[in-house]
């Protein structure tokens, strides 16, 4: 276990491998732990880091000041300050749901620190029943996330350790910024890969973005993927990730037919 003191907070992370740095950022449920298979798969050519965001895993869960530390912009700055602490000048970012939001915002606010971004389940379209907004909509999302966590032992165990306020406040940010989330993607000035699971019951793929994204951005839909494609389809996800990080022109990334045949 590795711990860094970032300002007044303790931030937990794990690291594997050598090479260019790749930083993994988890989503609303779980912690760094569900990234471990992907970290191991990439560690032969990258230095992989997985961070517990504030309020999750073994990172700080402050009793006071949570209202500020758990919001999106503060989580972004904590990751940047953690990078400073470790001397990571520039890195690839891989984020899932909440972690994808943090990665996109970090790429926008500090473009000199980010090489490429892979955003899994970036929440431009959260599946909420019509009319269920505000507290009702947030409650539905929290309940669905809890049910999804129960499907994966490595996620459920860590979900139970999270500060409920960290989940609640970060979900509020996602709902608050629904209109801005798509615009943020258009402003990112680095190679960007968006990955979605077709069967994700919580986050719908943003098909409306297909015609409005930069040429360096690709959107890939995993037909058999659900909310955690890195766990549902680990071999496919790992090959896709390695290709995206290593191709000279990452905009040419595509699912290969042999992957579909081999891992179906």
Per-residue model confidence as pLDDT tens digits over 65-124: 667 899 999 999 999 999 999 999 999 999 999 999 999 999 999 999 999 999 999 998
pTM score over 0.85: yes
> Per DSSP, which regions of the chain are E strands?
2-6, 9-16, 20-25, 46-51, 91-96, 114-120, 192-197, 217-222
The answer, yes or no, to whether residue 26 has pLDDT greater than 50, is yes
Residue 197: band (very low, low, confident or very high) from pLDDT cuts 50, 70, 90: very high
207 pLDDT above the threshold of 90: no
| Percent above pLDDT 70 for the chain | 88
The yes-or-no verdict on residue 23 having pLDDT over 90 is yes
Contacts of 192 by beta carbon, 8 Å cutoff, 6+ apart = 107, 116, 117, 118, 119, 185, 213, 214, 216, 217, 218
Spatial contact of 173 and 78, defined as CB atoms under 8 Å apart? no
- DSSP 8-state code for residue 126: B
For residues 32 and 49, what is the distance between their CA atoms, to the nearest angstrom?
9
Q: What's the mean pLDDT in 17-33?
A: 96
Average pLDDT over residues 215-227: 88
Residue 150: exposed, middle, or buried by beta-carbon count in 10 A (0-12, 13-18, 19+)?
exposed
Q: Is 186 in contact with 61 (CB distance < 8 Å)?
A: no
Q: Could you tell me if 59 and 10 are in contact, meaning their C-beta atoms sit under 8 angstroms apart?
A: yes
Question: How confident is the prediction for the chain on average, in pLDDT?
Answer: 88
The arrangement of strands across the sheet holding 20-25 comes to: 2-6, 9-16, 46-51, 20-25, 91-96, 114-120, 192-197, 217-222
pLDDT at 204: 84
Q: How far is Cα 177 from Cα 40, in angstroms, rounded to an integer? A: 34
Note the pLDDT of residue 211: 56
C-alpha distances in angstroms, 166 versus 28, 36, 52, 84, 242?
8, 22, 12, 23, 31
Task: Let me know how long the chain is.
Answer: 264
In tens, the pLDDT along 148-179 reads 999 998 899 899 999 999 999 998 888 888 88
Mean pLDDT calculated for residue range 124-146: 66
CATH of domain 2-263: 3.40.50.1820
Query: Which percentage of the chain shows pLDDT scores above 90?
Result: 65
> What does residue 193 show for φ and ψ, rounded to 5 degrees?
-120, 125
**64 pLDDT tier (thresholds 50, 70, 90):** confident
């Amino acid at each position: 276990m590795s711990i860094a003191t970032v300002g007044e907070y303790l931030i937990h992370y794990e690291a594997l491998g050598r090479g260019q740095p790749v930083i993994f950022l988890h989503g609303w449920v779980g912690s760094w732990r569900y990234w471990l298979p992907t970290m191991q798969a990439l560690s032969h050519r990258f230095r992989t880091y997985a961070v517990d965001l504030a309020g999750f895993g073994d990172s700080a869960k402050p009793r006071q000041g949570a209202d500020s530390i758990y919001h999106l912009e503060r989580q972004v700055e904590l990751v940047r300050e953690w990078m400073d602490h470790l001397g990571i000048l520039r890195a690839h970012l891989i984020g899932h749901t909440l972690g994808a939001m943090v990665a996109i915002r970090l790429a926008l606010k500090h473009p000199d620190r980010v090489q490429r971004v892979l955003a899994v389940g970036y929440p431009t379209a959260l599946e909420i029943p019509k009319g269920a907004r505000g507290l009702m909509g947030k409650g539905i999302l929290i309940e669905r996330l809890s049910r999804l966590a129960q499907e994966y032992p490595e996620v459920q165990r860590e979900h139970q350790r999270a500060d409920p306020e960290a989940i609640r406040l970060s979900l509020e940010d996602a709902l608050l910024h629904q209109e801005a989330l798509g615009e943020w993607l258009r402003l990112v000035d680095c190679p960007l890969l968006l990955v979605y699971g077709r069967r994700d019951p919580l986050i719908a793929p943003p098909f409306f973005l297909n015609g409005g994204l930069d040429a360096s951005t690709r959107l890939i839909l995993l037909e058999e993927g659900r909310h955690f494609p890195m766990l549902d389809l680990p071999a496919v996800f790992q090959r896709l990730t390695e290709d995206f990080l290593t191709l000279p022109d990452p905009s040419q990334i595509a699912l290969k037919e042999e992957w579909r045949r081999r891992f179906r």
